[in-house]
């Protein structure tokens, strides 16, 4: 597996990141630990979890799995969501961050977290307070690097500017939703990340399972896409455009003798600015399928075909810039 540096840091991570949101839920503990070990045997070192995944059970399983080779793993987790039923049981205030990091360290059975990520922007807490608290955690050695997730471009840029102005540690990465069927990041965030050298580690690279080709045009009654709410709801996934994208993915899979999941992941692996797509698996069969995305290169013609059909429509100000802006 290829190794990349995460953003403007010296942190070396594998080109795929193993997501653990299903560990302790749809993926039992035994299979979860086997996935982590097989992932590392294939050269993977990057694991992503969060303190709210399965109410902390995901962190506990990850902690069990990496005992004995903690130094070989780049371990990422998150803070922000509700963890307790009281006014300070959510957000990224200094109080909630300090409380949450201690709880994550205990569940993960480690004394440091490699990448500590703000799960979502907190409108109630000044970003200066959040970044100062995170900077203190890095200084103390409990956290090595910091990142964010699900931010707007202005929120990321405000955070970077605040860090620079106050000499706090910077976010080295962002974890957004990004895939062939979810390219909203292309509007502003991708260009910002390229400009500021912020690593991009996309979640839902298979569109919540849509890009595996398991679903017909009939609304599903089971599985993640049967949800009526959230990013993987059928209302968002089962559109005519998304099915046209899926048709192109399946055609590429037939042409290259790959699976649709492998095609969707490989497209991301070869996209400029992407560091490590985060893939998850409910079982070992899905895990093996996803791992088939590495070790080969998609022909440029096919990559371009997928890029074209999934691209956002031309929008202002890009239309204006393309027509009138000149480089001297």
Positions of E strands within the chain: 3-5, 12-14, 17-19, 46-48, 74-79, 113-118, 143-149, 171-175, 199-200, 278-279
| Contact yes or no for 231/204 (Cβ under 8 A) | yes
List of residues 6+ apart from 49 with CB closer than 8 A:
19, 20, 21, 23, 58, 59, 62, 75, 76, 77, 78, 108
Q: Which residues of 250-262 are buried (b: 16+ CB within 10 A; e: fewer)?
A: eebbeeeebbbbb
CA distance 23 to 298: 31
Alpha helix (H) ranges present in 66-206?
Answer: 94-108, 127-140, 153-166, 189-196
Token pair of 291 as six digits: 């791992």
Known catalytic membership, residue 53? yes
| Contact yes or no for 47/23 (Cβ under 8 A) | no
Catalytic residue among 53, 116, 145, 215: 53
C-alpha to C-alpha distances, 277 to 13, 85, 123, 142, 204, nearest whole angstrom: 11, 33, 27, 25, 8
CA distance 120 to 308: 30
Tally the residues of the chain. 328
CA distance 283 to 280: 9
- Residues annotated as catalytic (active site), given as ranges: 53
């Amino acid at each position: 597996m290829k190794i990349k540096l995460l953003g403007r840091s010296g942190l070396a991570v594998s080109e795929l990141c193993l997501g653990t949101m299903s560990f302790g839920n749809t993926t039992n503990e035994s299979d979860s630990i086997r996935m982590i070990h097989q992932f590392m045997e294939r050269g993977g070192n990057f694991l992503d979890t969060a303190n709210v995944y399965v109410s902390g059970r995901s962190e506990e399983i990850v902690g069990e799995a990496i005992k004995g080779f903690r130094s070989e793993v780049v371990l990422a987790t998150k803070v922000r969501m509700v963890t307790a039923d009281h006014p300070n049981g959510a957000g990224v205030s200094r109080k909630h961050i300090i409380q949450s990091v201690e709880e994550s360290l205990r569940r993960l059975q480690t004394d440091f977290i490699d990448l500590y990520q703000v799960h979502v922007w907190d409108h109630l807490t000044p970003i200066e307070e959040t970044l100062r608290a995170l900077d203190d955690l890095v200084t103390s050695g409990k956290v090595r690097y910091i990142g964010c997730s699900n931010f707007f471009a202005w929120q990321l840029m405000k955070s970077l500017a605040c860090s620079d102005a106050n000499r706090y540690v910077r976010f080295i990465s962002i974890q957004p939703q990004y895939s062939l069927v979810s390219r909203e990041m292309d509007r502003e965030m991708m260009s910002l990340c390229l400009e500021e050298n912020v690593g991009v580690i996309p979640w839902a690279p298979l569109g919540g399972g849509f890009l595996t080709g398991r679903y017909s045009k009939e609304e599903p009654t089971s599985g993640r896409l049967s949800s009526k709410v959230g990013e993987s709801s059928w209302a968002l996934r089962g559109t005519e455009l998304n099915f046209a994208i899926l048709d192109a993915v399946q055609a590429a899979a037939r042409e290259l003798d790959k699976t649709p999941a492998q095609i969707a992941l490989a497209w991301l692996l070869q996209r400029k600015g992407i560091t490590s797509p985060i893939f998850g698996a409910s079982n070992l069969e899905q895990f093996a399928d996803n791992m088939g995305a590495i070790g080969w290169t998609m022909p440029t013609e096919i990559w371009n075909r997928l890029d074209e059909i999934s691209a956002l429509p031309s929008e202002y100000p890009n239309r204006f810039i393309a027509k009138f802006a000149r480089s001297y």
